[in-house]
Amino acid sequence: MRRTHWAIGVAAWALVAHPAFAGEAKRSTFGAMPDGRPVAAVTLSNGKGVSATIIALGASIQALRMPDRKGTIEDVQIGYDTIDGYLAKPEFFGATVGRVANRIARGRFTLDGKRYSVPVNNGPNSLHGGTKGFDKVLWDVAEVKSGPTASVTLRYVSPDGDMGYPGTLTTYATYSLGEDNRLTIEYRATTDRPTVVNLSNHAYWNLAGVGSPRSAMGHVVTIPADRFTPTDATSIPTGGHKSVAGTAFDFRRPRAVGDRVRDASDPQIEYGGGYDHNWVIGDRVTPGEHLMARVVDPGSGRGFELWSNQPGLQFYSGNFFDGTIKAKKNAILRMGDAIVMEPQIFPDAPNQRGFPSVRLTPGQTYRNVMTYRLFVER
């Protein structure tokens, strides 16, 4: 079925190809930091009407534009129109999150017998690297390429002790867009001391388009996982796996996000105010990519398949948007207006012996690759 949908999507876009130069990477500036440093931006585009704007603050996806079944191009990434929003009210919009994505219980972990503490910024826990994670720093633009596949590579060197983490970590984030309508993000990192690393991207999707009256709750999602990792009331995994069968977490067959996202009879849904959990796709990082999820907006036909080499998928249903954030097009964000899907190693992995390891040592290279295979259904 997925192959059929993908074939239809490619055919549909072939009919609405736009005159943009194929494989173009265009530099610009997206405002400045409070200290005056310019925030670089690079827009990648192909000949099918798809473009992605990447900004150096947080190595973030600031915009992703794609056609619908009628050929109408809309931005499908929730975020801000200017740098001011990202500085004033950061919400991980499209950002690279780390050093350790997701949560670390009580902001503490032990590595090689030594206890480390990292900032607590999510209830009693540390989230996405702490109070100044990778989403809040200015990355350097290391390389920009036009051609059959347009790309930009950004670089950030996190010093030893940054946010409490050991080791100097050198990280590269490469975004690439091809004529096959695949947007790929590849993270690579090396260290000079043993440390822990778990990077991901926190793109907020509404495939109906920014400012649409339709929320993401109508998006139809498929996740090829028969287990997830249940959590306690603070969203820290309890350490085990639970079958999705007979629960609100069963997306093995296509289902709209909103069908069961408010099912308060399930304490797991109550804990997170919706979905904010890790689905178990595998038990280790793999050399190649595998299917993590499929998402489609029936109204527009826009969709994507998400592929990655990671074992876990954190699916978040925008539970904490409460009308206090004004995003692009002056849209007021409310609960469920966007969803997030983050390929990664499981939450709280530094403290969970049964989970895949996030340990990185000198001589090793951390790698997380994720590909959004964009399509349009008729």
Q: Residue 204 sits in a domain of what CATH number?
A: 2.70.98.10
List the one residue out of 153, 175, 55, 166 whose CA is nearest residue 100.
166
Q: Which residues pair with residue 173 across a beta bridge? A: 154, 187
pLDDT value of residue 13: 45
- Is residue 84 packed enough to be buried (19+ CB in 10 Å), middle (13-18) or exposed (0-12)? exposed
Q: How many residues does the chain have?
A: 378
Cα separations in angstroms, 300 against 87, 219, 297, 336: 32, 10, 6, 18
pLDDT value of residue 264: 82
Domain, as residue range, for 149: 2-376
For 314-364, the pLDDT digits (tens) are 999 999 999 999 999 999 999 999 999 999 999 999 999 999 999 999 999
For 44-62, the pLDDT digits (tens) are 999 999 999 999 999 999 9
Annotated catalytic sites, by residue? Answer: 202, 342
Quote the CA–CA distance of 77 and 208 in Å, as a whole number. Answer: 10
Quote the CA–CA distance of 334 and 109 in Å, as a whole number. Answer: 35
Q: How many domains does the structure of the chain reveal? A: 1
List the one residue out of 300, 341, 338, 303 whose CA is nearest residue 319.
338
pLDDT > 70: percent of the chain: 94
